[in-house]
Amino acid sequence: MKIAILSRNAKLYSTRRLAEAAKERGHEVHVFDHLRCYMNITSMRPSIHYKGVKLEGFDAVIPRIGASVTFYGTAVLRQFEMMGVFPLNESVAISRSRDKLRSVQLLARKGIGLPVTGFARSPDDIDDLLNSVGGNKFVIKLLEGTQGIGVVLAENKKAAESVIEAFLGLNANILVQEFIEEAGGADIRCFVVDGKVVAAMKRQGKEGEFRSNLHRGGSAELVRITPEERSTAVRAANIMGLNVAGVDLMRSNHGPVVMEVNSSPGLEGIEKATGKDIAAMVISFIEKRAAVGRTTTRGKG
């Protein structure tokens, strides 16, 4: 097959591993910076061009689109879809998962375990919002944040009020969630491929840090997950309509709760923690599904 990878940097671990795995299995691979792709949008002959060359003959496309360029990246991916190229994850599913508020509402509608979450726009509603979320500590998240950036832990209600007022004063949209104290600064990343959890790792935040992101100095180790956690991760990915996803769970006193469903999960941490060749599993999925034809997004909303 001829496979395109949309990535800003061909040297990034995840991009490099996916390209290596595809080449090892005999496929032709090309990496394109999606911000350098430009499109001719016509009814019958849509096309994509890259540095003066028309992109043609591709069987599958792997999107590695950063959160900061979701709008343009998904537009390029949509163009590939219009050309009949099989997407690892579809553009609409990526857009859905990147919208924190929308994804939380979709997961809640399907009964997925979540932290108690509040959303408001007016400073006059902050007090009642915090009372509805409950607890003594609050996690405040920017809707546009990623990799732990734009996430603040407020140690008490007064601190939460100050942080929320500051964010709203900047016209930022935020979510307020209960703090899962019993998780101890740890979460579980479940890597889902084709409706199965193929690997899982426990991520632990460094001392004094409530965020467990590896980009923020957290550590990772192999973990055995429960059947309930496995089922929750698979259902969350399916609701988002993602063929491949990283589902982040926390172990709470009332069962597993989903923190985020990541449409472009990194491979480095989970491959090193589990010793599994995740990249080869992703390429194997593409081989199986791209031969059949295009996907249809399984989620709704």
- 94 pLDDT more than 70: yes
pLDDT at 34 exceeding the cut of 60: yes
Contacts within 8 Å (CB) and 24+ apart, 270-277: 270/189, 270/191, 270/199, 270/201, 270/220, 270/246, 271/17, 271/199, 272/220, 273/201, 273/220, 273/221, 273/222, 274/199, 274/200, 274/201, 274/222, 275/222, 276/198, 276/199, 277/21
- 130 and 197 co-located in one domain: no
Q: Which domain holds residue 57?
A: 2-96
- Structural domains counted in the chain: 3
Average pLDDT of the chain to the nearest whole number? 89
Q: Check if the beta carbon of residue 205 is closer than 8 Å to that of residue 262.
A: no
Decide if 45 is inside a domain: yes
Same domain, 195 and 286: yes
What pLDDT is recorded for position 294? 55
Output b/e per residue, 256-270; b: 16+ Cβ within 10 A.
bbbbbbbbbbbbebb
Q: Same domain for 206 and 174? A: no
pLDDT at 44 exceeding the cut of 60: yes
Task: Tell whether the model's pLDDT for residue 210 goes beyond 80.
Answer: no
- CATH number for the domain harbouring residue 264: 3.30.470.20
Residue 142: count other Cβ atoms within 10 Å of its Cβ: 17
pLDDT tens column, 227-280: 999 999 999 999 999 999 999 999 999 899 999 999 999 999 999 999 999 999
Tell me the Cα Rg of the chain.
20
223 and 283 within one domain? yes
Q: Indicate the range of 51-55, 187-191, 210-214 predicted with least confidence.
A: 210-214
Determine the pLDDT at residue 148: 56
Contact of 130 with 160, CB cutoff 8 Å: yes
Contact between residue 233 and residue 246 where contact means Cβ atoms under 8 Å apart = no
For the entire predicted model, the pTM comes to 0.88
Cα separation, 186 vs 176, in Å, equals 19
Name the more confident of 121 and 107: 107
Tell whether the model's pLDDT for residue 20 goes beyond 70.
yes
Question: Stretch 42-66: mean pLDDT, rounded?
Answer: 93
Same domain, 129 and 225: no
* CATH code for position 53: 3.40.50.20
| pLDDT in the model for residue 10 | 95
